[in-house]
Structure formats: C-alpha cells, structure tokens
Structure 1
Amino acid sequence: MTPTTHLRKLASLADAARTRAALDRIVTEGGVPALERARFLTALTARLRHCLDQGGEGELLLRLRQGTSSGDGRLDVWLRPAGTRPDPQESPDLTCALPVPPAGAGLRRGVPLGEALLRADENTATVLRLLDEQDDLLRLHEEELHKTNQGVLALHSDLEAAAVAQRELLEAERTARAEAERARRLLTFLADASAAITASLSLTAVLRRLADMLVPEYAAHLDVWLFDEEGADQGDGDDSGAYEGRAYWAREHSLAAVAAARTGRPQHAADHPGGLPGTDDLPASALSPDRPLLAIPLTAHRLLGVITLTAPGPRFDADTGVMLVELARRVGIALDNARRYEQYRDTAEALQRAQLTELPDPPGLLLAARYLPATRGLNIGGDWYDAFLQPDGGLLAVIGDVTGHGLRAAVLMGQLRTALRAYAVEDKSPGEILSHLHRMLCHLQPELYATAMIARFRPGEPEVVWASAGHLPAVVRAADGSVRVLDAKPGVMLGIPVPFTYQDHRAELPPGSSMVLYTDGLVERRADGIDPGIGRLARSMAAFDTAELEQDLNAAADAVLKQLLHDSERDDDVCLLMCHMVTPAQDAGAAGERRTAGG
C-alpha cells in the first residue's frame, strides 16, 4: 500500500500543539502501547520546541505507512526549520511502529487546542498509572527481596551454626578416635606384656622383662618389694639389687608401698589428687616429692609384694593407671607361678640327683658319668644312669630315659632304678632284668614308658653282654681307635602294653676298648635328628687315644659333652656313662695304688 505523506506548517506554539495532538491520535489509534506512545510524543514535543526556538517557524513532514497485516504499520516524522524542506529520502527524525492501521483523520482536519491539551493529560495520566503500577510492582519486589534477604541471612546463620556443629562433631570424632587409639594401644601393650611375663618361669626374668617394658614410657622408675611365704620382706636377701638401674627389690619402702601392702589397695602419692579408679590418694612421698608414685599390690592367692612406679611426667593418666593395675595383677600371678615352679623344680631335681649313683671302682674297668638337666622347660626329666656290682663280681652299667618331665618322671625313674637293682641281685642277665622291668611297668604304671640299656662286664672277660629296651645304640671304641655302633635291633620300650622277652647280645670289648652309653639329649637336635648326632659322638670318641682315656676318663667325658653340646640351651636332659676296659699295664698300676692306699 502506498504510504500517505503530509506536510504541516509550524508557525506558532498553537500549531505545534495541534500537530502533537494529531500525531497523538494517530499513534493511539495505531495501537501503540501507552509507554511507547508517551516516549514518542515526549521526543516529538522536544523537537517541536527546538524547531520553533531556532527560527520561529518550521515544517513537519510525516509519512504514514499503513500495513497490510497487523504489526507492519509505521509512522515516520521529519522536522526542519521553515525554508529547508524535509527530504523523505533521509532517515526520519522520529519513527514509531503501528501495530494497528489508524484511521488517519487527524491529518485531514485540525484538532482543537483544548482537545490537544486534554489528550496530553490523558497520556500523562496513562504514564503515571503505569508508573504507579511499576511502583507497586517495585514495592512488591522490594518486599520479596527483603524476605529473600532475611531468608538468606537466616540460611547463613543456619549454615554457620551447622558449620560450628560440624566442627564440634569433627573435634569430638577426633577426640573419640584418639581415645580409641589410645585404648587400643594400652590393650595391645597389656596383651604383649602379659605374654612376655608369662613366657618365663624365672622370677628374676619376669621382673627384668617388666622393667624393660614399663621404663621409660609408663614409669620413670620401678621398684619391686617381694615377701617370702610368711609375708616377710625379701629386700635384704642375696637376690636384691638393681635391675639395670631401673627396677630392684626395694630396700627402702615408701609410705604408699607400705599402705598398699597393709590395705591390699593401690595407692597414689602426690601433691594433687590422682583421680585414678579404685586407687587411694596419699600426700606426696618424701622419696619422690616432685613426681607422683603409684604403689600397686602384687597378689595371687595371697599378697606377694608391692610394685611402686614413679610417674614418667607430672601425673598418671587415668586409663594408664587402670592398665597398670591390671598388669600388676597379672604380674602377681606370673610371680606366683614362677615361685611354685621353682619349688616344684627344686623338689624334682633333688629327688633325681638323690637317685644318681656314686660310681664303683672295680678292677679292670674305669667309669665316668655325667648328668645335665635341661636348660629350658621344667628342667627335670627321667634320664638316669646307674652302675653297681652283682654278687658274682660282675658290674652292671645302666642308662635309661623315662618319658615326660617333672616330678612324676623323676619318681618313676627312682622306682625303675630300685626295681632294677632288686632284680640284679639274683644274678640275672641284662635281658632277663629288662623283661622283669617291662612286666612290672605294664602292671603298675600303665601309659608310662621308658627306654633302658643294660651292659654287664665280668672281670677277665674281653666282652660285654648287653640288652636294650628301645634305647639308643651304644658306641664302642676299640683299642686301635676304630669306632662302631652296636646296632642290633633293640627290644620294645618298657611299658608298651604287649608281652615281650628281651634278648641278650654280646660284643667284644678287649682291654683298651671303651663303651659309651647315653640318652637322646646328647645327640638329638631338632634340625638334624639323631643319626648325625650319633655320628658326631663316634667321631669324638675316635679322636681320643687309649692312654688319654686311661689317664683321665672324667676329662674325656667333659670333652665329649663340650664337643656335642657347645654349651647350648637344651630342651632335654643329658646322661652319659663311659666304661673303659683298662689295659693290663694300667690295671696293674691301679691295683698297686689301691693296695698302697689300703695298706
């Protein structure tokens, strides 16, 4: 559609007002929104005033492009001073889109001035109404923003409170973890310490291990005050003394230790309350004025003594105090076990040594014997040796080993020794004696077994008669230094619940020869077994010459022990019985010495 153009003269303010009113009508009828319309008219008014102020008169060219459809209409305005006609080819000074095609009547007829003023007020009212609506909307947004700000502040406050609570929870968790770790460490130490002190049955070893574990982490110093069976102080005994400067059987006792011994309760002595569970508080001790003391009774079925610990720092921790009290209880049990063991061991060892024979000195035969108890375990086993004369002048050499250790093995060993001597009085052979012992043991001591070997030597006979009940084979050294093992098949162990008759065996043993009887503690090693040990014993005997054996058989026995044992710790007892047939020259000299000594 061809656009409509119109030129208006502007000679006065009235013309400008009418023109403004006409354009107001066009944009109003064209459906321009009130706010856009007010902006267009305000800009038009300013240009009209400027144009009139320039030359007094002006010309306004407007072009109305009515669209064919909604939204493509347009109003363009050119404004120039009079005499400079506007050119439509130039860009318009003002333009306004018309959503609805206007009637355009305001261009063809004049607009009354009053109407123009009223329409201006209507636009102003519309703008003010929009402004009021915007103010209401702004106030609503301000209220919403204020509420939002309040919510944000409340959220920040909640977040800060949550952060504080989280920090407190984290700190509480750290504290709980630290306490749990500390409790775990104390329990681990208690378990390790308990295992260490109960691993030994030596009273001195228990106390030394205790000092090594407690000093310096849990105590700066440790004192032990022990009582004897009647409750008397052992501090003045020969066993008292410093344990590497850290623990000792105390000679001078603190008041806390005396109170603990009297009441049977742990005592804490310091210039401040200890706060230790189950522990009484006392004033600071004169023996330790700067550091607290903790005196704990050592008890089992009775009061054994008191252990006194000097704090490693300014105070004892409550959890550590509980651990120390429990450890002292276990130490008391360990000490009581050690004392009972020592009594048991001393009794068994005394019984066993009482059974060991003083060797006879028959003509033509040298004897040497050694017995060594085990260095580990109960120390007392059933190993024994014996040598005695029969009524016919022959000599029986015996070696045996009762299964097990301790007092029962020692008692059974004594019974076997006594029974063997009783059977030997009847001049029975080694095999017959072992057969009688076997029947006796099966009848009187079922489920207890023993090995034994008996060798019979007769004056003037260059041979030995022997029988074995499951015992290790004897080693024989000939006069020329050659060595052999009497490896004839032995009989069953004594006490095995089967009928058995033991056979006698014979072996040549001319003058200058030696026969060695022994128990498994001499030759057996866990890593090697028995056969290598028997080989070492044979080589050891082969290293001697006859003169050396006849000069000092006891020294030879010591040399054998040294070579085979190397002074090592032993799990089993060791018995050794060496029998040497004397050469005629040596025997004559020995007989002369005996006659001289007898005359």
Structure 2
Amino acid sequence: MFRKRSPHDGDELLARLGSLTAQARRQAERQRSRVELAVALQRGMLPGEMPAVPGFHLAVRYAPAHSGLDVGGDWYDAFTLPDGRIGLCVGDVQGHTIDAAAFMGQVRVALRAMAALTSDPGDLLARTNDLLLTLGGDLFATCTVMRLDPATGLVESARAGHVPCVWATADGRSGVSEDEGGPPLGVQEGMEFPVTRHRLTTGGVFILLTDGVVEGPALTVDEGLDQVVRLAGIAAVAGMAADSLAAAVIRNAERVGHEDDAAVLVVAHDDRAGALRG
C-alpha cells in the first residue's frame, strides 16, 4: 500500500534542489574566477611590444587554450641584450593551472635576469635551469632561446626539451632546425645545452613555436611541423610579411585539434632575396 505523500515532501525536494543549484553556481563562479585570474596572469607577463631590429621584422601570435576550465603556460619573449644583439625565446610550462601560469612568469623573468650575465643561449639556459631548481616546486618548462646578431644575420640557438624551430629561404628551401637540444628546465641541475649556429640572410625566416601549434588529436608533432615547413617555404618565396606569416602559422593550431596553448614568434629578414645557411 502506497504512503500518501505529505504536501511538505515537494517543498523539501524543491528546497534541496535549490540548495544544490546554488552550490553548483558558487563552484562554477569560483572556477571561472580562477580561469580569469590565470588568463590575466598569462597576458600580464607577456611582452607588450617586440623590439625594433634594423633589417628584420619580428611578429608574434598567442592563442591561450581552455581545456575544460584550465589554462596553460606558454610564453614568448624578445629583448635587446646588453651587447646590442637580440634575445628571442618561446617556451611551454608543464600543466594547465594557475601555478603553471605563475611558473611561466618565473621562467621568463629568470631568463631576462640571466641574460644580463651571459647572452650565450646554451649558458643562458644552463644558468636559468640551476636558478629555477633553487626555487623548489615540481613544475618544469621546455624552452628555445635564440641570439640574433642583426649586423651579421648570425642566429645561435639552444633548446631545453622544446620542439625544434622551422626555417625557410626565399629560394624555396625550408626545413626543421637540426639541433641537439637538452632536457627541460627545472628537472636536474648541472645540465648542458648545445648551441647550433645558422646565418639568416636577406629573405630568410625563422619560426619559433610551441607544441600547441603542431601537435594535437588530429596530427602528430612531426606531421604538424611538416605543415609549418610547407607554409614557411611558400611564404618565404612569396615574400609574405612576418605578421601575416605568424597569423597563418597560428591557424595551424586549429587544424591539429588545438587543445593546448599556442605561441608563435617569426623572425624575418627584410627584402626577401637571400638564403638561410646552416
């Protein structure tokens, strides 16, 4: 025999549902605030303008990803070194949290601070790695650092567990930089980071990027890099402006099933008529 429902049962159920709804709304608001804070933290730590480099154009694009309600820690940077050469870097912090965004800021500041002591890319990464380890924590970052000499076009680069760069020339050649690289930053002290040298002459381009541009559910990192290589080759031959090339490369993130942050930094020589020699 069924028990006759009290008229208060419905009121109790509605009250419980209202309480659960309010609780879910508060949790969603807190999480949204966390995301907004992390995004603001990211953007606040990225440089506002690229330095003016005679004979070269620098262009950047950055697309923060929202995987669920989390954000990542990709960054880019470019600055004038004490000796007049130009420091360039892109990087990616492990994880998608506010801590990752904060650690990204620490790495970027550490690189700039160490650049006042040494501008050699390998030594710069080694010193930054050791400094980060003294701060403690369990996060790590991958990074590529370059030193550009505008007077000669000499480009020196070192990698810390990061995806390689892409290059292209006005005479139709293009490819992925074949440098040895070292481990990510913040993993083990006393690491060395080999330096690779190139010469960027008139007409050449270099593309620094993070793995969110070239790796995702739709493509492997090698397939994604191949797409950027083809795009860079076409752009160099056609004399595409650095800003347009950066915009075209960041769109590649959509084709790979973009779930991570994506950062692109393009270094292009003016008056495209020369080549990039290794």
TM over 0.5: yes
Report the CA distance between 1:360 and its aligned residue: 1.0
1:354, 1:491 → 2: CA distance?
29
Contact 1:379–1:572, Cα closer than 8 Å, also in 2:
no
Residue in 1 that maps onto 2:258: 570
Report the CA distance between 1:508 and its aligned residue: 2.7
Residue in 2 that maps onto 1:353: 43
SS for the counterpart of 2:8 is: coil
Report the CA distance between 1:557 and its aligned residue: 1.5
Aligned mate of 2:64, from 373, 378, 382: 373
Report the CA distance between 1:344 and its aligned residue: 1.3
Residue in 2 that maps onto 1:488: 179
* TM-superposition CA deviations, 1:534-587 (whole Å, max 9, x none): 1111112122145532xx321222122224415x863211111111122389xx
Contact 1:514–1:580, Cα closer than 8 Å, also in 2:
yes
CA distance 1:584–1:404, change in 2 (3 Å): closer
SS for the counterpart of 1:542 is: helix
2:238, 2:128 → 1: CA distance?
38
Q: Identify, as 1 or 2, the structure richer in helix.
A: 1
Which structure ranks higher in relative contact order (CA pairs < 8 Å, sequence separation ≥ 6)? 2
Matched, 1:581 2:269: yes
CA distance 1:535–1:413, change in 2 (3 Å): same
Q: Which amino acid aligns with 1:344?
A: R
SS for the counterpart of 1:400 is: strand
Matched, 1:276 2:3: no
1:435, 1:365 → 2: CA distance?
28
Residue in 2 that maps onto 1:596: none
Q: Which amino acid aligns with 1:395?
A: I
Residue in 2 that maps onto 1:3: none
Aligned mate of 1:512, from 195, 203, 215: 203
Q: Which amino acid aligns with 2:246?
A: A
- TM-score (normalizing by structure 1): 0.43
Aligned mate of 1:339, from 14, 19, 29: 29
Q: How many residues align?
A: 271
Aligned mate of 1:553, from 232, 242, 248: 242
Quote the RMSD (CA, aligned, Å): 2.3
Contact 1:481–1:544, Cα closer than 8 Å, also in 2:
no
**1:192-591 equivalences in 2 (<5 Å):** 275-277=7-9, 279=11, 322=13, 324-357=14-47, 358-546=49-237, 548-549=239-240, 552-566=241-255, 570-583=258-271
Report the CA distance between 1:330 and its aligned residue: 2.6
**1:20-39 equivalences in 2 (<5 Å):** none
Contact 1:379–1:573, Cα closer than 8 Å, also in 2:
no
Report the CA distance between 1:388 and its aligned residue: 0.4
Residue in 2 that maps onto 1:8: none
Say which one has the larger Rg: 1
SS for the counterpart of 1:405 is: coil
Contact 2:170–2:272, Cα closer than 8 Å, also in 1:
no
CA distance 1:519–1:329, change in 2 (3 Å): same
* TM-superposition CA deviations, 1:105-137 (whole Å, max 9, x none): xxxxxxxxxxxxxxxxxxxxxxxxxxxxxxxxx
Report the CA distance between 1:468 and its aligned residue: 0.4
Residue in 1 that maps onto 2:276: none
Report the CA distance between 1:391 and its aligned residue: 1.6
1:360, 1:516 → 2: CA distance?
17
Q: Which amino acid aligns with 1:560?
A: V
Contact 1:451–1:471, Cα closer than 8 Å, also in 2:
yes
Report the CA distance between 1:442 and its aligned residue: 1.7
Contact 2:214–2:252, Cα closer than 8 Å, also in 1:
no
Report the CA distance between 1:415 and its aligned residue: 1.1
Q: Which amino acid aligns with 1:574?
A: A
CA distance 1:411–1:521, change in 2 (3 Å): same
2:272, 2:171 → 1: CA distance?
15
1:495, 1:541 → 2: CA distance?
32
Q: Which runs of 5+ in 1 are unaligned?
A: 1-171, 180-273, 280-320, 586-599
Q: Which amino acid aligns with 2:192?
A: T
**1:110-189 equivalences in 2 (<5 Å):** none
